[in-house]
Amino acid sequence: MAYAALLSLTQTLEQILHSHDQSRILHEEKQITSLYEKLSFLLSFLEDSTHKYSETITSLEGRIRDATYKAEDIIESNLSKPTSHGVISTWFWEKNSPPAFLQYEGLQKVIEELDSISKDVEKMNDIEDLQPSMPDGSRSSNNSTMVEFDDDLIQITELPSKLESISVVEMDGIEDVVKMDRNDLEDLQQRNSLSATSSKFASTNKNAMVGFDDDLLQIKERLIGQSSMLKIISIVGMGGIGKTTLARNIYNDSHIVHYFDIRAWTTVSQKYNVQELLASLLNSMTDLGHKLYEMEIEELKEKLYQKLQCNRYLIVMDDVWETNAWEEVRRLFPDKNNGSRIILTTRLSNVAVYADSSGPIHHMNFLSLEKSLKLLNQEVFGEECCPSELEEIGITIAKKCKGLPLALVVIGGLLNKSEKTRAYWEYVAENVKSAVTRNYDDFVEVLSLSYNHLPHRLRACFLYMGVFPEDYVIHVSYLIRLWVAEGFLKPITPKSLEEVAKEYLEDLIDRNLIMVRDRSYSGELKTCSIHDLIRDLIVRKAQEEKFLHVMNQKVEISPEIIKSQRRLSIHGEIQFDVGDMYDSTVRSLLHLADSLLSINICFPLLRVLDARNITFNKFPIEIVQLVNLRYIALIYTGKCKIPASISKLCNLQTLIVFRRLRHFEVRILYLPSEILKMPQLRHLLFEHGFLPCPSDAGNGNLQTLTGVIDFRCTEEALGKIPNLKTLGIAYRYDSRKKWSIYCLENLVNLHQLETLKCHFLTKPWGEPWDSLAVDLAFPPNLKKLTLSGCRISWKNMSTLGSLPNLEVLKLKNFDFEDSVWKTNEGEFRKLKFLHIQCYNLEFWEVEKTHLPSLRCLSLRGCPNLNCIPSEIGEIPTLQVIALFPCGLSVETSAYSIQEEQEDLGNDGLQVHNAKIGTSFRKMYMSNELDPANKPPMRERIAIFMALGLLKVFFGMGQNKKTGYWIDD
């Protein structure tokens, strides 16, 4: 994690050097500048994309990481030292007073070490400059032999003795274990003396396509049918999911063999050579053999083009990692309008898009439980049946493989060779992950290739996913705030750090390392997760890199290990001795398991504290002494006030504070006005928090403010937070006040605001508030709007419709001005998601052109609505009509619209009828809806109204699965 360490420390030094307070650096400015220059040089070295993964680079990274950590510890320990003035010290205030381990000479030794590393880097660069280039411009490679494990190539440096009796398992595919003797290995060595392998090897293996029948048919249809123009078919998925096996089965299919005049297969791999790649393709189609490898590149290109131009051909380029690899050969594939095809397999979506941005990408999905079990049984028993006493345990084992074919093949091979007893299978079921990774090291190697291929800027973000427990649904906004606080992101002008983080996350998703769980209808990424086996790789790698340590009940950890870790993630009720932790280097402490334990916050250099799953009796005042803190998330039950001294935390970026209340208890959390003076603050999330209007200094960095009640949106107050992007506010009913005193019309001045949630806590009898003001206005950049507990005039409804960027509109516990809603032409041009929960709406008149971008219509508790207009079904973009408890006439009209569209050939429109108490997200993700299980309509409406009132009254709720507070 050298890159992340360098980036973090350089950003800290920049803050010191650019400080207006010259006393921050005193006499050490020259030395700080020297340190900064050395760190910047090493940072540029790691950013250089020409430095690929190797043992030399790995060794250098370790030295860089350790030296940078030492420097960071010394600097931040002194930054956190309190002064006599009661504010934080930012440099060596009393040069002779720090403890021995913080002496200034210690930093000088680190600088000398970094200087030595820099010299070694310069020598390595000089050697690379002298290294001869290949004809295509690439550096000459070593002579290690490449043995193919499906779409991944494992380097073998000692063949004769160690591989004499090895069993080769097709790692990315689903194949039987193939016994190989010495002759096979010698033949294999000869075939694979090149980085790129030919179709002669591809055709020697017979693969079992368990679980991929549908994929096989889809690809074959695209190969044989459709256009006669040259088409590129990309097969994309994570390592081990079966890309190469699918391609190989297609390649060897009898119909495909008959249909194409010429077929050629080449495995490109991470380290490819253009000359060898071209020779391997030609070797598939000619008898020239090794003469091909003596030809120049241009001669090879000419021969390949001539060979293909008069034939209908199928080319398979397997395991492509770089767009450059495709760019080198794409012009050599002639399009003679004869139905020729190219199959490309890759883990990287951007490579597939680059090869052909117009055609659909074939994404490989994880196997269902049924298919997983079928594959597992085939690997273990072949054509025989699984004994009845092992069936239930087999299902458990299949489940724990999480649909990854590679894992199923490896575990199946292990079970095949072992005694088929219930006791042994139960043992394997309890230890599936370790059984896979420890019994087959190449499995880890396959997955590690994806990590090794990551650019340095993404590695820390990827390894950070290990802080989350297995099967954890990660809310994206939560993850991004953590990444920002950890200092993993390099600023890119004019983008915000949050925007950079989203790009990083999408990049990891495109590399098939992180799985998307939920996207909004506007396309925004909501939640994500990682496969358990990927997570296991992450945790191992993170511990090797001294980056992260996960603590759970199964692993004992000594105080010495804790003290040396950079990050601790606690996944159980772990207790450890905190007596000696005050000199710990821990920067992040995340407690992500429900616990009744309390903890002592005793890590002086802490940056990230996530203790949301621990309940404090009162606000832990010791937090305000941890001046390096950038992120705080916690719950407490005691006095409802955050101390003004929290403003001492001048580095704080995110503050999340919730209170755990009993039953229907509602208590206001009082926030100090000083909180908006904190210079680095970006995100404030509360629950029923009262924030006084700021009177003096404001905060131009603040992006998120949610959970605030009775906030007066005066021009002065909003002027203090001009760059707010997300605002969540609520207003309590008070018969003595009119809601107009809160000046909501001034929200139009928040020009950066994109998301607004405004709740009017209903009157005691559950009626919405009176109509909103006539002059209500919202900022033009608003994309998401939620209004709850109010009545709106038609003029204000037209105001909403005129918002040019509005994509999501939710009207909850809502009343219109009267019972008829007529939408108008030109309104809601970009609206994609519309949710209506309205009690007095009876008739809705709409034309298909009024909501031209609508993708989802959600109706909840509209007991008086006559029907859904049939014109809604004519909106071409509409995908879903989601019905929560609604009248029978509404349900009938929805299904009528669906049937009408099906009759017109539109099978894309779905009607979902949800159960009582089901959130839209849960319904959308699970799709487990059964209208027959609904209680009578009157009962449903009564239950729904009760739940709705409670929900509006209590505001946001905690999502136990994600550990994140979301507004349903």
Q: Express each pLDDT in 711-724 by its tens digit.
A: 888 888 888 899 99
Q: Where are the domains of the chain?
A: 2-130, 196-363, 369-444, 454-545, 548-606
pTM listed for this prediction:
0.82
The C-alpha atoms of residue 966 and residue 968 are separated, in whole angstroms, by 6
Specify the amino acid at residue 195: S
Specify which of 171-175, 277-281, 623-627, 781-785 reaches the highest per-range mean pLDDT.
Answer: 781-785
Superfamily of domain 196-363: P-loop containing nucleotide triphosphate hydrolases (3.40.50.300)
Tens digit of pLDDT for each residue in 286-333? 776 667 777 888 999 999 999 998 899 999 999 999 999 999 899 999
**pLDDT at site 633:** 93
Per-residue pLDDT at 89 exceeds 60? no
Cβ contact 282:292 at 8 Å: yes
Please report which residue ranges of 613-724 form alpha helices under DSSP H. Answer: 715-719
Average pLDDT for 89-115: 57
Distance CA 624, CA 643 (A): 9
> Per-residue pLDDT tens for 503-530?
999 999 999 999 999 988 878 899 999 9
Confidence of residue 581 (pLDDT cuts 50, 70, 90): low
Residues in the chain, total:
968
Q: Which of 28-32, 320-324, 892-896, 953-957 has the lowest mean pLDDT?
A: 953-957
Res 442: pLDDT = 67
Q: What is the pLDDT of residues 656-693, one digit of tens each?
A: 998 776 655 667 888 998 898 888 999 999 988 898 87
Predicted local confidence at residue 786, as pLDDT? 94
Number of neighbouring beta carbons within 10 Å of residue 169 = 21
Beta-ladder partners of 544: none
* CATH 2.40.10 correct for 369-444: no
pLDDT at 211: 78
State the average pLDDT over residues 805-814: 92
The helix/strand/coil state of 917 is coil
The half-sphere exposure of 461 on its side-chain side, counting CA atoms within 13 A, is 28
Instruction: Return phi, psi of residue 102, to 5°.
Output: -110, 10
Question: Radius of gyration (Cα) for the chain, nearest Å?
Answer: 31
Measured from the Cβ of residue 532, the count of other Cβ atoms closer than 10 Å reads 17
Residue 289 has what pLDDT? 65
568-572 contact pairs (CB < 8 A, 24+) = 569/466, 569/467, 569/468, 571/469
Residue with token string 């049918």 = 225
Q: Predicted confidence band at 431 (pLDDT cuts at 50, 70, 90)? A: confident
Looking at residue 757, what is its pLDDT? Answer: 94
Q: Which two tokens stand for residue 955?
A: 């505001």
| CATH-assigned architecture of domain 454-545 | Orthogonal Bundle (1.10)
With a cut of 70, say whether residue 956 has pLDDT above it: no
Place of tokens 């908006």: 676
E strand or H helix that includes residue 483:
helix 476-486
The confidence band for 536, taking pLDDT boundaries of 50, 70 and 90, is: confident
Predicted local distance difference test score (pLDDT) of residue 925: 41
Whole-angstrom Cα distance, residue 482 to residue 949? 33
Mean local confidence (pLDDT), 257-273: 91
- Give the Cα separation of 808 and 828 in Å (integer): 10
The pLDDT tens digits for 129-185 are 555 444 444 444 433 323 233 333 333 233 223 223 223 233 333 333 222 232 332
- pLDDT(794) > 60: yes
Whether the pLDDT of residue 202 is over 50: the answer is no
Distinct helix (H) and strand (E) counts, the chain: 29, 34
- Comparing 532-541, 598-607, 873-882, 943-952, which segment has the lowest mean pLDDT? 943-952
Strand pairing of 152-156 and 145-149?
Answer: antiparallel
pLDDT computed for residue 961 by the predictor:
36
Q: Does residue 102 contact residue 110 with C-beta atoms inside 8 Å? A: no
Quick one: pLDDT band at residue 92, thresholds 50, 70, 90? Answer: very low
Mean of pLDDT over the chain: 78
- pLDDT at position 295 is 85
Tokens 């692993």 sit on residue: 555
Amino acid (one-letter) located at 416? N
Q: What is the DSSP string of 560-595?
A: HHHHH-SEEEE-S------TTGGG----EEEE-S--
Alpha-carbon gap, residue 458 to 501, rounded angstroms:
10
- pLDDT band, residue 770 (cuts 50/70/90): low
